[in-house]
Each structure stands twice: as C-alpha cells, then as structure tokens.
C-alpha cells in the first residue's frame, strides 16, 4: 500500500552541476514492476562517470543519456507496491537486485524495478550488505562467461584477474575459487591479503606491470582495471585458451568522443586489433556490458543463499551526503560506498 506518494531522489543535475535531493511524486508500478523502498543502493565507478556525461550517446538509445538523472544500478529494500504480473512479490517482502541504466536509478527513497530483476533477500540477511553486490556480481559473471569460463569447465583452470582488489575482482576471485579454478590476482601489495582471502591462489604486484613474466601461462584472463593493459593481458593467454573478457573497454567513450559513425568505426577497429593479438586457437574475446541477465541473477541468488560472496563496505551516507560517496569511489578508496536514503 502506497501511503506517502512523495519520494526523495538524488538528482544529478548535469556535468559539473553536482547533486540535489529533490522531492518527487512516486509513480504506480507498471505491469511487471514493483516499487521498492530503498534501504541501500551502491555507488559504482559508472555512476561517477555518468555524472560527468560519460556514455551519454549510447545510453540515450535506452533513454538514459539526459540530465537531470537519478543514478544507481543496484538496490536492496522492501517492496511497497506491486504491479500486475509482477511474480510472487508482495508488499513487505525484502528484496535486492539490479536496475538497467536509466534516468530513474536507485539513488532514491523509492525505485520502480522489473520484478524479474530482483531476488528475495534471505531472512536475517543485512540489506546494506546485499545492496553492495548485485551490479558488480552480474557484470563480473557476464565477464567470466564472456571469457568462456563456466561452473562446469572452470576446475583447475588458471585465470588471471587484473583489478583483483576492486569490486568485480574480489567477487570473481570468490566465485572462481568456489568453481575450482586457480585465480591469480593482480593488485597492489596492501590488497594482497584481501585477494588471498577471496580465493586467489597467487597474487602479483600490479604496480610493477608483471605481464611480461606471465607469457602464455593462462587459460583465461579478465581485465577489470585498465584498457591500456588489455593487449598485455592477451599475451598472458596460452595457445588454445578459453579466452579473455574486459569490462574496461572504450565502447561508450568512442561514441561520446567521435559520434555515431566514427565511433562505430573506431570500436570495430579496436576490437579487430585486439582479436588479432589473441594467441592461436583462443576461443573467446568479449567486451562485457552490464545487463540484468537472468542466469547471472540466479548465480547471485545461489551465492547469497550459501553466504559465499560479499564485498566490504567502506562508506555509508544518507542521500544528502551522497557527494561524499561519489568522492569515495572517484578516489578509489577501499570498500564499497552505499547511499542509505532514510
């Protein structure tokens, strides 16, 4: 039952314009949607970039490119209203999940989400801890699958994870080690212990760019850190490897900077150049783009129910203090940043 029809939203006013908390009318859920009173929503690197206008051209195709906008792609909270055909959810259920890029993101007191994009929160589990994970987990899972790794084939595979101490990296180490793979983490020395705890079989110092010494050693490589290291990572794959996936590719930036035609041509040529650098017989090469994938959400559900994966929270702030959360992510400070609307 919706009793208060006004909600608070963190509006990102425009590139350089900062943020304002605005009181806005809440809409009723459409068919297939539920409304969630947000207990917590995370701030991710994409939010920091979108606040500056990054991705506006391609994201405009899904109505997510114009300011003012509410950012945020994941949420945990309590169901407050249910649309028609919205599955088995009912008012009062505790849920967590993802929302595709939009101008009505999750940095708000209430958010409308597709029922298929959220999962029931296990009884007793902390909603704040759950809010830190869904967007990163789903993207990580898509990258792992994009590289050709599956739960079935991962056993004993050597996997190189660049950016291993970040959100995607830690979740990848946790999942891959659970799947029986042998992940090697590239991170900075202060993060070695966290990588080992997350399941890294080996840790390497990223500050000395260790790629040359790793020639042809890996079954799969994952780049969660830097596009400029992508070719060096491809050189770490063995012949007939499963493959490589990167979440840090220039897809959105190419279109932002070069427009539709030249952006498409540059994207095509970037991909072709990198594919050409793959060792002979490599099966997969993927530029991962987040989407609310049903199989990824099922894997997330399983990992949450088995209490396998999670991320450390570094900062919690109310909506009005959200600029602090954006600074935390921009400055690459440790732990995830959460916005707590209430």
In terms of C-beta density within 10 A (0-12 exposed, 13-18 middle, 19 or more buried), how is residue 280 classed? exposed
Q: Please state whether the peptide bond connecting residue 168 to the residue before it is cis, i.e. omega within 30 degrees of 0.
A: no
Query: Between 65 and 206, whose beta carbon lies closer to ligand NAP?
Result: 206
CB 214 → ligand NAP: shortest distance, Å?
Answer: 15
Residues shown for the chain: 342
Query: What end-to-end distance do the CA atoms of the chain give, in Å?
Result: 18
Question: Is residue 178 within 8 Å of residue 238, measured between CB atoms?
Answer: no
Of 157, 160, 154, give the one whose Cα is nearest residue 235.
160
Query: Between 167 and 199, whose beta carbon lies closer to ligand NAP?
Result: 167
CB 169 → ligand NAP: shortest distance, Å?
Answer: 6
Q: How many CB atoms lie within 10 A of CB 78?
A: 16
CB 1 → ligand NAP: shortest distance, Å?
Answer: 35
CB 58 → ligand NAP: shortest distance, Å?
Answer: 11
Structure tokens at 78: 């309590």
Of 41, 63, 48, give the one whose Cα is nearest residue 15.
48
Query: Between 86 and 168, whose beta carbon lies closer to ligand NAP?
Result: 168
Query: Between 109 and 247, whose beta carbon lies closer to ligand NAP?
Result: 247
CB 159 → ligand NAP: shortest distance, Å?
Answer: 16
In terms of C-beta density within 10 A (0-12 exposed, 13-18 middle, 19 or more buried), how is residue 149 classed? buried
CB 224 → ligand NAP: shortest distance, Å?
Answer: 4
Angle formed at CA 13 by CA 12 and CA 16, multiple of 5 degrees: 95
Give the footprint of ligand NAP on this chain (CB under 6 A). Answer: 44-46, 136, 139, 163, 165-169, 188, 206, 224-226, 247-248, 288-290, 332
Q: Is 87 helix (H, G, I), strand (E, B) or coil?
A: coil
Query: Between 37 and 304, whose beta carbon lies closer to ligand NAP?
Result: 304
Query: Between 118 and 165, whose beta carbon lies closer to ligand NAP?
Result: 165
Query: Between 11 and 170, whose beta carbon lies closer to ligand NAP?
Result: 170
Inter-CA distances, 275 with 258, 262, 278, Å: 22, 20, 5
CB 291 → ligand NAP: shortest distance, Å?
Answer: 8
Q: Is 74 helix (H, G, I), strand (E, B) or coil?
A: strand
């Amino acid at each position: 039952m919706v009793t208060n029809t006004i909600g608070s939203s963190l509006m990102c006013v425009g590139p350089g314009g900062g943020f304002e908390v605005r009181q806005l009318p809440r809409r009723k859920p459409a068919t297939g949607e539920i409304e969630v009173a947000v207990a917590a929503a995370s701030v991710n690197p994409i939010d920091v970039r979108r606040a500056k206008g990054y991705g506006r051209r391609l994201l405009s195709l899904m109505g997510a490119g114009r300011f003012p906008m509410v950012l945020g792609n994941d949420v945990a909270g309590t169901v407050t209203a249910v649309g028609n055909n919205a599955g088995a959810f009912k008012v009062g259920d505790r849920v967590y999940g993802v929302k595709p890029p939009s101008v009505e993101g999750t940095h708000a007191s209430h958010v409308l989400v597709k029922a298929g994009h959220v999962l029931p929160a296990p009884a007793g589990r902390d909603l704040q801890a759950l809010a830190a994970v869904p967007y990163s987990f789903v993207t990580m899972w898509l990258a792992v699958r994009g590289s050709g790794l599956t739960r079935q084939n991962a056993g004993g595979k050597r996997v190189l994870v660049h950016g291993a101490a970040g959100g995607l990296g830690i979740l990848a180490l946790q999942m891959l080690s659970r799947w029986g793979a042998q992940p090697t983490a590239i991170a900075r020395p202060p993060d070695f212990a966290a990588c080992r705890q997350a399941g890294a079989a080996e840790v390497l110092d990223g500050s000395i760019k260790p790629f040359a010494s790793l020639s042809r050693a890996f079954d799969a490589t994952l780049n969660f850190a830097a596009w400029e290291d992508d070719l060096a990572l491809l050189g770490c794959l063995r012949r007939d490897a499963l493959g490589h996936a990167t979440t840090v590719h220039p897809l959105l930036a190419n279109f932002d900077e070069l427009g539709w035609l030249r952006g498409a041509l540059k994207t095509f040529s970037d991909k072709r150049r990198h594919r050409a650098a793959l060792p002979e017989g490599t099966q997969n090469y993927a530029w991962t783009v987040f989407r609310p994938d049903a199989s990824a959400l099922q894997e997330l559900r399983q990992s949450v129910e088995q209490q396998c994966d999670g991320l450390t929270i570094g900062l919690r702030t109310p909506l009005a203090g959200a600029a602090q959360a954006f600074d935390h992510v921009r400055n690459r400070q440790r732990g995830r940043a959460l916005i707590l609307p209430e």
